[in-house]
Structure 1
Amino acid sequence: MGMLRIGICDDIYDARLVLRAALERVLEKRRVQGQFREFSSGEGLLRWLESHAGELDLVFLDMEMGELDGMETARRLRAADAGLQLVFVTGYAEHVFDGYSVGALGYLLKPPKAEQLEEVLDRAQAALVRDLDRAYICRSGDTHYRIPIANILYFVSDRRQVACVTAGREYTFYGKLDTVAAEVGADFVRIHQRYLVRTGAVDRMEGGEVVLRDGRRLPVSRSCQPSALLAFTRAELEG
């Protein structure tokens, strides 16, 4: 993996500076390019992620921040981006086991040692490679996005463009829905010439529509109804 997109969230500027410098040294040694975003609060990170989901691979979170501490920030991050890798950083050893409830990659005491960062980055890169099969990669403008499959509601095409729709935003790119369908596989089913929906996002099918779990309604063409109903039934039985 040639590049890691890393977020650092800590309400202390000097702590962010120290961690970033340490990470840059480790990445340079590994010949991996790092792209960094810094945040001074959990609230700021979550607000940014609302319009930039899929733009970070790994986030280092300080546990002891203002109103929204690292643990609560992590829980909300998990809900927003299931594939995001999380690492906690703290000055207090008693918090070391707290991170397991949100599937954190690791827990580092300040200031983290180079060998600890090496180990965490090894795990992060391995997890990202493993999760590539569970994410959809698309390019919108000059940016590549990694969108966890579990976050996608549906794809919709409009002439030469396709929109990947999640709960919080849309990612528009040039492509064909047939190509997307082949790439995402059995988790999705074609319900219309223009729509490809994730079966796990569907609550029910009624009349000529599917109703998603968040209440959105999408059209189902007559020709797609039998295969769509079969796919939704299978997903319900397997889920």
Structure 2
Amino acid sequence: MLRIALCDDEQEARDCLRFQLEKTMYEGDEEIVYEFTSGETALRWLKKHPGEIDLLFLDVEMKDLNGMKTAEEIRKFDKELLIVFVTGYSEYVFDGYRTGALDYVLKPAEEEQIRHILSRAREYFFMKRERNFVFRNQDGTFRMPLDKILYFYSDRRQIGVVTEMEEYFFYGKLSEVEEKTDGHFVRIHQRYLVNGDRVEYIGHDQVEICGKELPISRGMKDTAVAKLAECMLKGIR
């Protein structure tokens, strides 16, 4: 599913864009899930919900924090979010590409322009979807790039997802998580599944990832160390 958000401080502009999007989206597989009325509210929400939005239509000419500044702040914590700038002035277009924008829309949005942008977004997510891990908890649905995840661990019935920035939890089994990840994730313990590409050191009975030491179980040691060494030496990714 392609999850879309709109950010514009004018209700009429959001309604116009929504109308064009709804004519073009794939029913049942694409959805406008959030509307933000300012750059500040978008930033606060996106920081707390990484991966929950795939595509953001961001108005350039907003009061207080404008669209360009908002995009620059987003890129400090999220490099993956697709951003499309919405503007009434073509001179802003080239500035948008400094923040890795997918495209831009000139107001008022036209159906053909929206159709082209959604087509590009679909192609992008088709190519990268196998490199993501999707999970759901009480805060919503998260699509997390696998290369951002340091390791998973089990704690009773919950799974912890550890990144450099934050830690997330959802109910599940580590064995099921292992099946959904690629060959770069290595089971080192009954409780731990680590990203082999992020391991910095392999010791006698532990590994180190971003300064955190995790135990290697005796029963899994030989297989785990061999796989981890392969990741470290060959740089598979």
Q: TM-score range by the shorter chain?
A: 0.7 to 0.9
Equivalent of residue 166 in structure 2, options 165, 168, 177: 168
Distance in 2 of aligned mates of 1:186 and 1:233: 13
Number of the residue aligned with 1:153? 150
Which residue is 1:52 aligned to?
49
CA distance in 1, matches of 2:156, 2:120: 41
What secondary structure does 1:35 align onto? strand
Question: 53-62 or 222-231, which moves further after superposition?
Answer: 222-231
Q: TM-score by structure 1 length?
A: 0.81
Superposed displacement of residue 109, structure 1 = 1.2
Shift of the alpha carbon at 1:72? 4.0
Q: What is the match of residue 31 of structure 1?
A: 27
Report the count of equivalent residues.
233
Q: How much has 1:230 moved relative to structure 2?
A: 4.2
Contact residue 51 and residue 168 of structure 1 kept, 8 A: no
Q: Aligned residue for 1:13?
A: 11
- Residue 94, structure 1, aligned to residue 91, structure 2: yes
Name 1:185's counterpart in structure 2.
182
Shift of 1:53: 1.8
Aligned to 1:120: 117
1:81 touches 1:148 (CA, 8 Å); kept in 2? Answer: no
Identity of aligned residues (%): 44
1:109 and 2:93 matched: no
Q: Is the 8 A contact 2:199 2:232 kept in 1?
A: no
User: Are the structure 2 counterparts of residues 49 and 219 from structure 1 closer, same or farther at C-alpha, using a change threshold of 3 Å?
Assistant: farther
| Equivalent position amino acid for 1:218 in 2 | L
Instruction: Give the Å deviation of 1:194.
Output: 0.3
Residue segments in structure 1 that go unaligned for 5+ positions in a row? none
> For 2:85 and 2:231, how far apart are their aligned partners in 1?
35
State which of 190, 199, 204 in structure 2 corresponds to 1:202.
199
Distance in 1 of aligned mates of 2:98 and 2:228: 31
Structure 2's unaligned 5+ residue stretches are: none
TM-score (norm 2): 0.82
In structure 2, the residue matched to 1:85 is 82
| Structure 2 Cα separation of the partners of residues 227 and 72 of structure 1 | 48
User: Which of 216, 219, 225 in structure 1 is aligned with 2:215?
Assistant: 219
Is this contact kept in 2: 1:58–1:124, CA < 8 A?
yes
Whether the 8 Å CA contact 1:96–1:107 is kept in 2: the answer is yes
Q: Does 1:4 pair with 2:2?
A: yes
Does structure 2 retain, via aligned residues, the 8 Å contact 1:82–1:148? no
Q: Which amino acid aligns with 2:142?
A: Y
Deviations 1:149-203 (A, max 9, x none): 12222111134432323322403122x2223222212221122210111123333
* d(CA) in 2 for partners of 1:74, 1:200: 29
Task: Measure, in 1, the Cα distance between the counterparts of 2:205 and 2:91.
Answer: 56
1:135, CA displacement in angstroms?
A: 0.5
Q: CA RMSD in A?
A: 2.7
Query: What are the within-5 Å matches in structure 2 for residues 119-138 of structure 1?
Result: 119-138=116-135
Matched to 2:187, the amino acid is R
Change (3 A) 1:221 1:5: same
